[in-house]
Amino acid sequence: MTTEGNDQSSEEPGFTFHDRRRIDPETGEIRPEAEDQASSQAAGDQAADPSAGTGSAEAGSAGAGTDGEESVADASDLGVEIPADASSLNDTEAAAGEPAAGSEPEPGSEAAGYLADLKRINAEYAAYRMRAERERERAAAGGTIKVVEALIPVLDEVRLAQEHGDVSGPYEAHVTKLLESLKKIGLEQYGEVGDEFDPALHEALMQQPSDEVEAPTVFLVMQPGYRLGDRIIRAARVGVQQPED
């Protein structure tokens, strides 16, 4: 007997496990019995206190109204006028006080100083470009003048040969090409018998009176003159007839 009693007393009490989780861990869905239990509990609470839901709703609406009144009061206290339509507001109104694009800065300001410096630099650069262009044209004209001055003795020999009939055959074609090439760069030969004497264009190497002229006139061309544009490379050397007094 004693032995049986000791064996019974040494046995551990047993326990049971009930899974009351609303979400099924295997499917991830709400269990049907959990939905039924929640709906039953809600129905019981409403039957016990019918005015509970209405009171909560009224409290929520009252709270919302109170918050709205407070927000309106806060905006009016700050002196801010909220327009009904805010679409007319633009970036210019939001950035009030900033100068509009294209407007001149205020005199004496830092921006005005920068603008004055920029205008000065632009003016100096424009003047520099004009000077550089003039220098380039002057250098090109100077180079052409040096070439023409070197060719003038050759041109004098060619003219004398033409007067004596020594330029003929293939040499005549070469001389013609040379003179045409010089004309293309602007070189012009002048000085003909019968021209009115001009001290700016002619150099008088001899003079003689004549009753056949009414003004100083060229009657002999010893060496023709050459000019490049408005610049005289060499004045024509001529003989001049002066009218008799």
Q: Cα 156 to chain center, whole Å? A: 57
pLDDT for 69: 44
What CATH number belongs to 188-245? 2.30.22.10
- pLDDT < 50: residue spans in the chain: 1-9, 52-73, 75-76, 78, 80, 89, 91-97
Ranges of each domain in the chain? 112-185, 188-245
pLDDT for 43: 62
Q: What is the pLDDT of residues 51-73, one digit of tens each?
A: 544 444 444 444 444 444 444 44
pLDDT for 163: 84
pLDDT for 229: 84
Alpha carbons within 13 angstroms on the beta-carbon side of residue 1 total 0
Sole residue written with tokens 């050759």: 154
pLDDT for 75: 46
Cβ contact 235:225 at 8 Å: yes
Structure tokens, 158: 């060619």
pLDDT for 64: 43
Strand partners, 223: 237
What stretches of the chain adopt beta strand conformation (E)?
A: 187-190, 202-210, 217-223, 225-228, 231-234, 236-243
Choose among 159, 182, 175: nearest CA to 229: 182
Sole residue written with tokens 């409403």: 46
% of the chain surpassing 90 pLDDT: 32
pLDDT for 71: 43
